[in-house]
């Protein structure tokens, strides 16, 4: 998917955040084996960034275990406090606990996603269940909850501010949702399920990474490359050498490799090989097969939901989201699905007819779709995507995102050349707003075997403002082709969109201005979190924004207006496909998580039935088949993949408001938008939106944007 944020592991959100210096008593409590661990020492680095230059892979596991012990002691101190429970000695104390664990875990899960190795993989397998058990001991602790409940019951008499009240409400509800009121054997079973789900999620992700890395399609026939761009030909040649070939070109299942090949190669059977290689990841009946993992996970999720008092996993997850109920999710999707499917069928018929007219025998297949879309774009719109790549050199695209942030919010970015990095290819910047330090952002642009697929944002340190203002440290991560000796990294328009998308998440973290770290930045409901990122995609394609960064990497020429028009017309052609493959995945997610029984499913049969139910055509796969659906089985999007569509309603509505003013950088509206980002998760998603525009969101701008309404 062009826009992805990976939430690495759900339990991380349960760690309370404290951005204060560790006390001497904590330091003295550390065991001898961890005294010299750089993760547990003070980080005497510029702006307090992690000391990646001295951290070793085998430092993480002992540091995490030590941090668990430290938080356990902090929790015991809260529980054993003889004083009457108060907001300060219970709710805030809980919020501030686990500072070491939060700090280390944020870095650990960021690195395991972007630059893993065998030690980190093994550490992740070990620490996952241990972390889950640790958080269960906190969130399922009846004695701790008694103190929380005492404070909660007196909330009307405590004279608390809005953020304090919201923290109290969220803390109380989170403990209820976690199952603190579950008793006896059911509570022990809940703990077993949590530990098992954590281990299964880690296994799913590891299997997928290994399956993705293992695949290769190699050719020595240059005709198989079709009109693949010079930069991507060089990348494929480099990949072939890396994989031990003396000559030829190798293609992988990483998006920057497979998608251009599917668009350009005239070799139909080789296209099918790559297409099926991608579609069958985790479904090859081998040691890395994910079907048994999925079947067990979904059954356990139903059982856990039942223990918590819900009929389905979706009921449980949606109970604190903007959508609230699965019925509301289905209603939104059902409004769009018929129009999107009709558009996709119309396009399918046109593409199949083109293939037939070329004298190609056989049935039109999914692996033919992108190839013939490219042909239609060339024939109907005189457009070839490779025409635009020279205008989207990755550094220029990054500068375009910086320029947009400057235009909207007065932000500037200063390169930091002497800060530690987790990989030599990273770029690091100090972020300033009107000259004042705001935070630090890391960019990790290029694909490699040590990095999982997709694109995402991490918060290495969250903003807070308790005793002092603590600035955020965020990351943006991508999987783009690295520059070769002779060619720069040139992006497609869609890949350039992803830069702006993830940068939108980064802005959400960087512009945060709240008291408590657990409410800062992107700590908002799942169906709100994609809104600030998706709205950035609207700006990036506007001609006056394109003029600031879409410049030919050789000549410096700004992308011509005629080419922009061709590109936009051509890109609009395949909107039915894009919407259908995304929505099919969203329906699949909801189907898995509205199960009401704990019977383990035949994964492929279940998926087939779910897609037949909505009438998905054979030529389109859901964007993520179950076997490689990392969002919902190894990320934080179970019962939440619909959120991209939910957020599309918000982003289309928002940008339409900017357009209506006649100034897409309207200062007054930008100020209100910035205030919403600054509020983080200190209010509900709907309240944040109403504060911004003064009304509920409306769907009509999205329907017009997608071509479903005139």
User: Who's near 459: CB < 8 A, 6+ residues apart?
Assistant: 106, 472, 473, 474, 475, 509, 520, 521, 522
Contact present, 304 and 313 (Cβ < 8 Å): yes
Sheet with strand 427-433: strands edge to edge: 411-415, 427-433, 436-446, 473-480, 456-461
Phi and psi angles of residue 558, each rounded to the nearest 5 degrees, phi first: -70, 140
pLDDT tens-digit series, residues 501-548:
999 999 999 999 999 999 999 999 888 999 999 999 999 999 999 999
Q: From residue 25, how far is each of 65, 134, 138, 197 by CA, in Å?
A: 18, 22, 22, 35
Say which of 502, 537, 607, 648 is annotated catalytic.
502
pLDDT tens-digit series, residues 362-372:
999 999 999 99
Reported as type and span, the H/E element at residue 154 is none
For position 443, what pLDDT does the model report? Answer: 98
Q: CA-to-CA distance for 697 and 170, rounded, in angstroms?
A: 24
Domain 10-139+141-181 has CATH 1.10.1370.40: yes
In this model, does residue 359 exceed pLDDT 50? yes
In this model, does residue 41 exceed pLDDT 50? yes
For position 573, what pLDDT does the model report? Answer: 87
The whole-number average pLDDT for the span 160-185 is 96
Contact present, 639 and 526 (Cβ < 8 Å): no
Answer with the residue of higher pLDDT: 19 or 56. Answer: 56
Helices (H) and strands (E) in the chain, counts: 28, 9
Q: CA-to-CA distance for 423 and 20, rounded, in angstroms?
A: 28
The answer to whether 502 is a known catalytic residue is yes
User: Who's near 605: CB < 8 A, 6+ residues apart?
Assistant: none
The whole-number average pLDDT for the span 183-189 is 96
Contact present, 436 and 410 (Cβ < 8 Å): no
For position 6, what pLDDT does the model report? Answer: 33
For position 30, what pLDDT does the model report? Answer: 53
Note the pTM of the prediction, 2 decimals.
Answer: 0.89
Can you tell me whether residue 86 is helix, strand or coil? coil
The whole-number average pLDDT for the span 294-323 is 96
In this model, does residue 234 exceed pLDDT 70? yes
DSSP 8-state assignment for residue 358: T
Q: CA-to-CA distance for 379 and 370, rounded, in angstroms?
A: 14
The whole-number average pLDDT for the span 161-190 is 96
Per the DSSP assignment, residues forming a β-bridge with 442 are 428, 475
Contact present, 685 and 697 (Cβ < 8 Å): no
pLDDT tens-digit series, residues 560-609:
999 999 988 888 889 999 999 999 999 999 999 999 999 999 999 999 99
Phi and psi angles of residue 349, each rounded to the nearest 5 degrees, phi first: -65, -40
The whole-number average pLDDT for the span 147-166 is 96
Contact present, 121 and 61 (Cβ < 8 Å): no
Contact present, 109 and 8 (Cβ < 8 Å): yes
Transcribe 492-538 into DSSP letters: -HHHHHHHHHHHHHHHHHHT---S-GGGSTT-S-HHHHTHHHHHHHH
Contact present, 469 and 445 (Cβ < 8 Å): no
The CB density around residue 561, as the number of other CB atoms within 10 Å, is 11
The whole-number average pLDDT for the span 81-104 is 97
Q: What angle do CA 632, 330, 497 make, to 5 degrees?
A: 55
Percent of the chain, pLDDT > 70? Answer: 95
The CB density around residue 656, as the number of other CB atoms within 10 Å, is 16
User: Who's near 348: CB < 8 A, 6+ residues apart?
Assistant: 364, 369, 617, 619, 620
CA-based Rg of the chain, rounded to a whole angstrom?
A: 25
In this model, does residue 2 exceed pLDDT 90? no
Instruction: Name which of 398, 383, 369, 419 is nearest 577 in CA terms.
Output: 369
The whole-number average pLDDT for the span 269-276 is 98
Percent of the chain, pLDDT > 90? Answer: 87
DSSP 8-state assignment for residue 223: G
Contact present, 151 and 90 (Cβ < 8 Å): yes
The two structure tokens encoding residue 159? 């004279």
The whole-number average pLDDT for the span 188-211 is 96
Q: CA-to-CA distance for 420 and 422, rounded, in angstroms?
A: 7
The two structure tokens encoding residue 43? 């980080």
Q: CA-to-CA distance for 205 and 127, rounded, in angstroms?
A: 15
Burial 465-487 (b: 16+ CB within 10 A, else e): bbeeebbbbbbbbbbbbebeeeb
For position 666, what pLDDT does the model report? Answer: 98
Q: E strands, 417-494, where?
A: 427-433, 436-446, 456-461, 464-465, 469-470, 473-480
Domain regions of the chain by residue span = 10-139+141-181, 215-279
pLDDT tens-digit series, residues 407-460:
999 999 999 999 999 999 999 999 999 899 999 999 999 999 999 989 999 999
Transcribe 238-253 into DSSP letters: HHHHHTT-SSSEEE-S
The two structure tokens encoding residue 185? 């054997």
């Amino acid at each position: 998917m062009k826009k992805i944020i990976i939430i690495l592991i759900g339990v991380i959100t349960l760690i309370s955040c404290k951005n204060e210096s560790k006390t001497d008593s904590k330091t003295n409590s550390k065991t001898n084996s961890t005294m010299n661990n750089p993760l547990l020492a003070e980080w005497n680095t510029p702006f307090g960034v992690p000391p990646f230059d001295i951290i070793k892979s085998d430092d993480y596991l002992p540091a995490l275990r030590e941090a668990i012990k430290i938080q356990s002691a902090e929790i015991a101190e809260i529980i054993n406090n003889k004083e009457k429970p108060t907001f300060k000695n219970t709710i805030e104390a809980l919020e501030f606990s686990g500072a070491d664990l939060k700090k280390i875990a944020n870095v650990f899960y960021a690195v395991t996603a972007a630059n893993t190795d065998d030690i980190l993989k093994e550490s992740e397998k070990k620490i996952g269940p241990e972390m889950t058990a640790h958080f269960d001991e906190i969130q399922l602790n009846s004695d701790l909850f008694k103190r929380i409940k005492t404070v909660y019951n007196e909330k009307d008499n405590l004279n608390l501010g809005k953020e304090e009240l919201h923290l109290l409400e969220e803390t109380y509800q989170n403990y209820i949702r976690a199952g603190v009121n579950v008793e006896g054997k059911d509570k022990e079973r809940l703990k077993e399920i949590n530990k098992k789900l954590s281990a299964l999620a880690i296994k799913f992700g590891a299997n997928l990474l290994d399956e993705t890395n293992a695949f290769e399609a190699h050719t020595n026939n240059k005709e198989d490359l079709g009109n693949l761009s010079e930069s991507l030909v060089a990348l494929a040649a480099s990949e072939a050498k890396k994989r031990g070939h003396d000559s030829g070109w190798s293609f992988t299942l990483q998006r920057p490799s497979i998608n251009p090949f599917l668009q350009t190669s005239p070799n139909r059977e080789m296209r099918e090989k790559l297409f099926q290689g991608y579609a069958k990841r985790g479904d090859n009946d081998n040691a890395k097969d994910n079907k048994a993992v999925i079947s067990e996970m979904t059954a356990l999720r139903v059982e856990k939901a039942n223990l918590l008092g819900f009929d389905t996993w979706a009921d449980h997850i949606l109970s604190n989201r903007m959508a609230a109920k699965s019925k509301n999710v289905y209603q939104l999707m059902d409004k769009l699905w018929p129009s999107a499917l009709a558009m996709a069928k119309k396009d399918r018929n046109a593409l199949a007819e083109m293939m037939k007219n070329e004298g190609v025998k056989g049935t039109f297949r999914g692996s033919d779709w992108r190839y013939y879309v490219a042909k239609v774009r060339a024939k109907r719109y005189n457009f070839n995507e490779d025409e635009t790549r020279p205008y989207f050199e990755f550094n220029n695209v990054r500068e375009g995102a910086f320029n947009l942030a400057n235009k909207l919010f007065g932000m500037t970015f200063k390169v930091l050349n002497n800060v530690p990095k987790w990989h030599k290819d990273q770029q690091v910047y100090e972020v300033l707003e009107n000259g004042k330090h705001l935070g630090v952002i890391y960019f990790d642009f290029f694909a490699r075997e040590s990095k999982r697929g997709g694109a995402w944002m991490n918060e290495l340190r969250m903003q807070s403002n308790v005793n002092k203002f603590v600035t955020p440290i965020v990351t943006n991560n991508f999987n783009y082709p690295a520059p070769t000796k002779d060619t720069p990294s040139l992006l497609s328009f869609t890949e350039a969109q992803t830069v702006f998308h993830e940068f939108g998440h980064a802005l959400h973290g960087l512009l945060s201005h709240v008291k408590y770290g657990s409410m800062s930045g992107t700590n908002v409901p799942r169906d709100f979190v994609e809104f600030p990122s998706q709205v950035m995609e609207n700006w990036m394609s506007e001609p006056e924004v394109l003029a600031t960064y879409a410049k030919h990497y050789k000549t410096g020429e700004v992308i011509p207006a005629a080419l922009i028009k061709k590109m936009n017309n051509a890109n609009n052609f395949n909107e039915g496909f894009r919407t259908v493959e995304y929505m099919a995945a969203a329906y699949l997610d909801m189907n898995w998580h509205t199960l009401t029984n704990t019977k383990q499913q035949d994964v492929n049969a279940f998926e087939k039935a779910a897609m037949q139910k909505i009438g998905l055509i054979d030529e389109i796969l859901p964007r993520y088949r179950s076997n490689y659906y990392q969002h919902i089985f190894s990320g934080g999007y179970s019962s939440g993949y619909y959120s991209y569509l939910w957020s599309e309603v918000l982003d289309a509505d928002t940008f339409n408001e900017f357009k209506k003013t006649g100034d897409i950088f309207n200062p007054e509206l930008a100020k209100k938008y910035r205030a919403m980002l600054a509020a983080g998760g200190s209010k509900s998603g709907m309240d944040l939106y109403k504060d911004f525009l003064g009304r509920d969101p409306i769907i009509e701008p999205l329907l017009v944007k997608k071509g479903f309404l005139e």
